[in-house]
Amino acid sequence: MSNLVDWISRLLEDCSARAPFGIAFELDCARAPLVASVTPADMPAVHVRLDRDDIRGRIDFACRLQALLDIALDHPVPRCPADGMALAPARAGDEVVWACPAGDFGCAIGEYELAAFWPPAEADQWAAPLLAKRFHRAGVTGLSHFSVQSHGGALVARVRVRPGAGEAAVRAAASPLAVELIRAPAISTVRERRPAGDREAAHETLTLTGVAMRLARLDGDLHRATAGQDCDFLVGSTMVRLAAAHLIGAPGETLLMDADRRAFADEGDRVSCAGGFAAAGPIREAAPAFLAAQISVYRDGAPLATHPPRFQRKLGAK
What proportions of the chain, in percent to the nearest 5, are helix, strand and coil?
20, 35, 45
189, 294 Cβ separation under 8 angstroms: no
Question: pTM score, two decimals?
Answer: 0.66
d(CA 25, CA 281): 10
Average pLDDT, the chain: 84
Residues 304/292, Cβ–Cβ less than 8 Å: no
* Residue 200: per-residue pLDDT: 74
**Hey, is 84 helix, strand or coil?**
coil
Prior bond of 78 cis (ω within 30°) = yes
pLDDT of 213 > 60? The answer is: no
Predicted local confidence at residue 212, as pLDDT: 62
Q: Among 21-35, 66-80, 301-315, which is the least confidently predicted range?
A: 301-315
266-294 pLDDT, tens digit per residue, is 999 999 888 887 665 666 556 678 888 78
The pLDDT of residue 90 is 95
Section 249-255 average pLDDT: 89
- What's the average model confidence in pLDDT over 85-93? 94
pLDDT of residue 307: 35
Type of residue found at 285: E
End-to-end Cα spacing for the chain: 68
Determine how many CB atoms are found less than 10 A away from the CB of residue 11.
24
Q: Is the confidence at residue 4, as pLDDT, over 50?
A: yes
Q: Do residues 184 and 210 lie in contact, with contact meaning Cβ atoms separated by under 8 Å?
A: yes
The amino acid at 205: T
How far is the C-alpha of 208 from the C-alpha of 296, rounded, in Å? 12
More confident position, 89 or 124: 89
- Residue ranges of the domains in the chain? 4-115, 119-183, 188-298
Q: What is the H or E stretch that residue 40 is in?
A: strand 34-40
pLDDT tens, position by position, 291-311: 887 888 887 654 444 433 333
pLDDT surpasses 90 at 216: no
Mean pLDDT of 155-178: 92
Q: How far is CA 165 from CA 63, 176, 228, in A?
A: 41, 19, 32
